[in-house]
Amino acid sequence: MKTWREKFQNAKPYQVKELHTDFAGMKRGQMMLLPDAQVIDAYIRGLDFGYTEDIKTMRTKLAKKHQAEVSCPVVTGIQLRVVAEAAFEAFQSGSSIDEITPVWRVIDEKVPLLKKITFDPQFILEQRTREQQA
């Protein structure tokens, strides 16, 4: 079985495609970003310490950056999980908090992803609190 880091490194490259049907609040004909883990990772690493942003805002900014009108919420969620799991895997392997992707800057207690991750979600929530109190 692949590690999360391997899934991160071997993800299909991001794509921008035209929507052929209405989907999840997006309209047929819009150009949609299907982000990969590297796109999401780079975006999150670019967020300043202590700054938080919701996933919808991240999707909007990612779409604009990649010349699309919208970002797929399903693919974004899947790839965000890969980034989060790979970050925690790196932390467990000895990387410091400052070296891993700070996924807590976009993941809060309201994000359904917290129920899907394989590690204790308190890790993310504690890091979010730590940064906000610094």
pLDDT band at 102 (very low <50, low <70, confident <90, very high): very high
Domain layout of the chain by residue ranges: 4-133
Whether the pLDDT of residue 1 is over 90: the answer is no
Decide: helix, strand or coil at residue 26: strand
**CA distances, 105 to each of 20, 74, 82, 133 (Å):** 33, 19, 15, 13
The amino acid at residue 57 is: T
Q: Give me the pLDDT at residue 21, please.
A: 94
The lowest-confidence range among 11-25, 39-53, 82-96 is: 11-25
Q: Give me the pLDDT at residue 98, please.
A: 94
